[in-house]
Amino acid sequence: MTGMKVNWKNVALFALVAVLIIGTGFVQSWNTALYILNLGLISAIMAIGVNLQWGYAGLFNVGIMGLVAIGGLATVLTAMPPVKEAWAAGGLRMMLALATGAATIGGGILLYKRMRPGRRRTLALMVWLVGGFFLYRSLFDPAAEAIEAVNPASTGYLGGAALPVLLAWPLGGLMAAGVAWLIGKTALGLRSDYLAIATLGIAEIIVAVMKNEDWLDRGVKNVVGIPRPLPYEVDLQRDPGFVETASSLGLDPVTASTLYVKLGYGLMFTAVLVIVLVLAELALRSPWGRMMRAIRDNEVAAEAMGKDVVARHLQVFILGSAIVGMAGAMMTTLDGQLTPGTYQPLRYTFLIWVMVIVGGSGNNWGAILGGFLIWFLWVQVEPLGKMLMDVITAPLPDGALKAHLLESVAHMRLFTMGLILLLVLRFSPRGLIPEK
């Protein structure tokens, strides 16, 4: 796409995506079209993050869901107002408990490094860790209980920092980077499968924590009403100036307000996507990016040339994870609520992988294309499948089988995504827009 020569195939592919989304606007509704566009933008950013790890460096991260969820948590911690009663009830104790937990682990690592290997070290480490754990629990349990007892129906958690919600985006990136640092320190440098298994595990744990630690984010009770960077639809509808502009465009105020908000998000997300893309492309072309790909293509040779492969991998792993975390924060901002129960690996990990592979691993434009295209399919396969199933089952008599088939159509999209992934891997392994 860049350079003097225009690659018409790629232009056509992006035009196709545009036609699909605009077509949705005409055929279904503009609200749906903008919904697809906004989540497509977020998906594209996530896909760039994963592409950084896989396409640039060949790192197989199956913990994307966890990073997305961390971004969501960052939104709550940033934007929600603090719950003063909860802080009074157990906030400081909780902080102390968390500090104790951190000190236990930190001290354990220190012990391990400072003492000579042997039975004494093992014993000292055990005593330290077990003691620390019980101390931590003795502080943590009452604190959590006290916090969760504060008006559990509406709060029961510590709340956030009441900062502007847009700050959550970089913060989400930062938090995801922190998690990535921890995983990378442990699993990078081992064989690729281990990184995959480790990331799969950490993602499950992050989501488990978010589902169960009510004092932190209300768990499965969800946090709703996260402040927005844009005005609320109801406020717009009450604004005479807005209503007037809307009617001059021939729109009723309700539709106009929803479109206005969605477009607003669309513009903000586009801005982020452009920044991420430019930075990722610059990185790819820099000596750093060339080295990264050299390592990917021949790790042994790169290592022999004195490159610190593990350190480079750690960098790119953290960067990619930060981008995904940021996108996760953006998504929760768009939703206006955090619902830990909805983080599913198939949706937030494997779907992003399909996007990267179908789009073209190693190519950021490919990642963007894959993000939009696969997201569009993910949304639309279900109604399409339903229509198809309606046609197929039309001649069947009404009964259990027909009802079952119609009901099960929702699961067809997993099947479709898997099939797309396998077909692309087999017949066009470099993806729609291959790496240059």
Partner 1 sequence: MDFLNAIVAIANYVLIPGIAYGSQLALGALGVTMIYGILRFSNFAHGDTMAFGTMVTILFTWWFQSLGISIAPLPTALLALPFGIVFTALLLLGTDRAVYRFYREKRAAPVILVIVSMGVMFIMNGLVRFIIGPDEQRFADGARFLIRARDFKQWTGLSEGLAIRTSQAITVVTAVAVVALLFWFLMRTRTGKSMRAYSDNEDLALLSGINPERVVMYTWLIVAALATIAGVLYGLDKSFKPFTYFQLLLPIFASAVVGGLGNPIGAIAGGFVVAFSEVTITYAWKKVLVYLLPESLEPSGLAQLLSTDYKFAVSFALLIIVLLFKPTGLFKGKTV
313 vs 413, beta carbon nearer partner 1: 413
Residue 346 binds partner 1, judged by CB under 8 A: yes
Quick check: 175 and 216 in contact, CB under 8 A? no
Judged by CB under 8 A, the residue of 2, 186, 286, 298 near partner 1 is 186
Dihedral through CA 28, CA 34, CA 38, CA 43, nearest 10?
Answer: 20
- Binders of partner 1 among residues 71 to 100 (CB under 8 A) are none
Stretch that binds partner 1, among 38-46, 149-157, 281-289, 420-428 (CB under 8 A): 420-428
| Stretch 26-65: interaction string toward partner 1, x if CB under 8 A | --------------------------------x-x-x---
Q: Which two tokens stand for residue 170?
A: 């970089």
Dihedral through CA 222, CA 227, CA 229, CA 233, nearest 10?
Answer: 90
Write the CB contacts of 325 (distance below 8 Å, at least 6 apart in sequence): 67, 68, 70, 71, 74, 172, 173, 174, 175, 176, 177, 179
Quick check: 402 and 393 in contact, CB under 8 A? yes
Q: Which two tokens stand for residue 134?
A: 């019980």
61 vs 258, beta carbon nearer partner 1: 61
Residue 314 binds partner 1, judged by CB under 8 A: no
Quick check: 65 and 352 in contact, CB under 8 A? no
Residue 197 binds partner 1, judged by CB under 8 A: yes
What is the rounded distance in angstroms from the CA atom of residue 337 to the CA atom of residue 330? Answer: 11
Number of residues that bind partner 1 (CB under 8 A): 45
Min separation Cβ 1 and partner 1, Å: 26
Judged by CB under 8 A, the residue of 412, 430, 434, 435 near partner 1 is 412
What is the rounded distance in angstroms from the CA atom of residue 289 to the CA atom of residue 157? Answer: 43
282 vs 422, beta carbon nearer partner 1: 422
State whether residue 223 is helix, strand or coil.
Answer: strand
Residue 345 binds partner 1, judged by CB under 8 A: yes
Residue 296 binds partner 1, judged by CB under 8 A: no
Residue 190 binds partner 1, judged by CB under 8 A: yes
Stretch that binds partner 1, among 81-89, 188-196, 226-234, 263-271 (CB under 8 A): 188-196
Residue with tokens 């198809």: 388
Min separation Cβ 55 and partner 1, Å: 13
Quick check: 351 and 417 in contact, CB under 8 A? yes
| Stretch 381-410: interaction string toward partner 1, x if CB under 8 A | -----------------------x--xx--
Judged by CB under 8 A, the residue of 229, 414, 430, 435 near partner 1 is 414
Residue 113 binds partner 1, judged by CB under 8 A: no
State whether residue 190 is helix, strand or coil.
Answer: strand
Judged by CB under 8 A, the residue of 208, 278, 387, 396 near partner 1 is 208
Q: Which of 64, 78, 333, 97 is nearest to 207 (CA)?
A: 64
* Residues in a beta bridge with 82: 159
- Binders of partner 1 among residues 135 to 164 (CB under 8 A) are 141
Quick check: 257 and 233 in contact, CB under 8 A? yes
What is the rounded distance in angstroms from the CA atom of residue 65 to the CA atom of residue 324? Answer: 9
Judged by CB under 8 A, the residue of 254, 298, 425, 436 near partner 1 is 425
What is the rounded distance in angstroms from the CA atom of residue 53 to the CA atom of residue 56? Answer: 6
Residues in contact with partner 1 by CB under 8 A are: 58, 60, 62, 133, 141, 186-187, 190-194, 196-198, 200-202, 204-205, 208-209, 211-212, 345-346, 350, 353, 357, 404, 407-408, 411-419, 421-422, 425-426
